[in-house]
Amino acid sequence: MPFSVYVLGLSVFALGTSEFMLTGLLQPLARDLGVSIPQAGLLVSAFAVGMVVGAPVLAAATLRLPRRTTLIVLLGAFALGHVVGALAPTYEVLFVSRIVSALACAGFWAVGSAVAVSLVPENARARAMAIMVGGLSVANIAGVPAGSFLGQQAGWRAAFWAVAALAALAVAGVLASVPDPPVPTGAQAPDLRRELRIYRDKQVWLALVTIALNAGAVFAFFSYLAPLLTEVAGVPESWVPSVLALFGLGGLIGTVIGGRIADAHLFGTMYGGIAASAIVLTLLALLAEYRWAAIALALLLGVTAFTTGPALNARMFNAADAAPTLAGATATASFNIGNTVGPWVGGLAISAGWGYAAVAWVGTAMAASAVLTTAISSRVRSRALSRRDLPHRPPQRRAPHETCPAVPDPANPTAGG
C-alpha cells in the first residue's frame, strides 16, 4: 500500500476529530457564547449539512484542478476555518466557520478518496478505503476524547487550535508524499457532463441508498448512546467517555477486518456486516437495561458497522467507475445523509414517548432496509454482467439464392404451394 494513502488516512484523523469532538464541548461553548444547548447543537447539524452539500459541489468545482493542489487548498481552508472558530467573538461567526470547515472537509473526503483509489489497483480499493476510514476510527478512539478533554481543561477554543495544528501537519504530509500527476487533456480531460452520467445508473443510486441506510442505522442509535447508558442501563456518567472509546475501538477493528476481506468478498462483506448490525441493534433494544450487555454490544456495534465501510465505499467506486471524483463525493454525501437522517428519526421516536431504547429499533429497521437494497443491488449487478457477457450474435443473412418459404393463405390453400 503506498505511503501516501496512509498520509491521507492521517489527514482524515484531523477531519474526523473536528466533526465529532463538538458533542463533548457543547456545554462550555454554550456558556461562553451565551446561547442555549440546542443552539450550540445546531453547530453539529450545520457541519453535517455542509458535508452533504459540499462533497458533490466541490468535487464538480475542482474536477479540472490538480489533485494534490486541491487537497492542500482544502486542508488549508479547513485549518483557517478552525483558526477563525477559535477566535470567534460571537456564535454567528463560529456558525459560519463550521460551515466553511464542513465544506472543506467534504471536498477533501471526495477528492482524497478518489486519489487513494487511483493509487492502487482495482482489487485493492477496499483496503485503500479502509485506511481512509481507519483515520475516522482512530479519531473516535483518540482524537475526539482528547479534544473533549482539552476543551474541558483549557477551554473549547484550545480544542479548535489543536485541530488547526493537526490540519497544518496534514498539509505538510500531503506536500511531501502525495503525487501530483498531470491533469489529463484532450479526450481524456475531466468532463463534468460525462461524469454526471453516472447518476443515470440505478446501481449508483442503490449504492447511495444502501450507504445512507447503513449510516442512519448506526447513528440513530449512537447519537443517543450516552443518555441510553445513563438513563436505561444505569451506567455512571463518568463511564460514558470510556464506552464511546470502546465503540471507536470496535470501529477500528471492524475497519481492519473489512479492509482485509472486502476486496475478495464485496457483497458478502456488505451482507454480513449490515445483517450483523441489525442483529446487534435488536439485542440492544431487548437488553438495553442490562449494564454490561449494553456496553459489550456498543463495542460489537462498532465492529459490525465499520466492517461494511470499506466495502460500501468500494462498491460506490465500482458502480461509478467512469467518474471517480463524483463517486467519492457521492459516497461522502451518502454517509452524511445517513448521519443526519438517522439521529432525526431516532429523536422522533424519543419525542413520541417510546424511550431511548426505541432508537435501537429504529436502527434495526434501517439496517434491515439496507440488507434489502444490497440484495437488489446484487441482482441488478448480476443482470448487468450477464448482459455484458452475452456473445454478440449478428443477424443472420440469407444467401442470394435462398428464398423465403411460402406461407399458406388460409383463404387460398393452394397459394405458395
Same-fold call for 1-179 versus 192-388: yes
Amino acid sitting at position 289: E
- Count of all residues that appear for the chain in the document: 417
pLDDT at 409: 45
Give residue-wise pLDDT tens across range 327-350. 777 887 888 888 888 888 888 888
Please measure the distance between the N-terminal and C-terminal CA atoms of the chain and give it in whole angstroms: 75
pLDDT at 182: 62
- What CA–CA distance (Å, rounded) separates 284 from 290? 9
pLDDT at 130: 82
| Grid coordinates belonging to 237 | 456518567
Contact 112, 12 (CB under 8 A): yes
How much is the pTM?
0.74
| Per-run averaged pLDDT (10 residues), the chain, 417 residues | 87 86 76 80 78 82 82 94 94 92 88 83 81 79 78 86 93 87 59 74 89 90 82 83 83 87 88 95 94 93 90 82 72 83 85 88 95 92 72 51 46 43
pLDDT at 402: 46
Give residue-wise pLDDT tens across range 271-314. 999 999 999 999 999 999 999 999 999 999 999 998 998 888 88
- What CA–CA distance (Å, rounded) separates 211 from 203? 12
Contact 367, 213 (CB under 8 A): yes
What CATH number matches the domain at 192-388, 3.90.1150.110, 3.40.50.300, 1.20.1250.20, 1.10.3080.10? 1.20.1250.20
Residue 173 DSSP code: H
Contact 112, 132 (CB under 8 A): yes
Instruction: Tell me the domain boundaries of the chain.
Output: 1-179, 192-388
- What CA–CA distance (Å, rounded) separates 289 from 84? 43
E-strand spans in 111-254?
Answer: none
- Note the Cα 145 to chain centre separation in Å: 21
Using DSSP's 3-state secondary structure scheme, residue 403 falls into: coil
- Residue 353 backbone class (left: φ over 0; alpha: ψ -120 to 50; beta: rest): left
Q: Which class is domain 1-179?
A: mainly alpha
- H or E element: which one contains 347? helix 324-351
CA angle 37, 38, 41 (to 5 degrees): 85
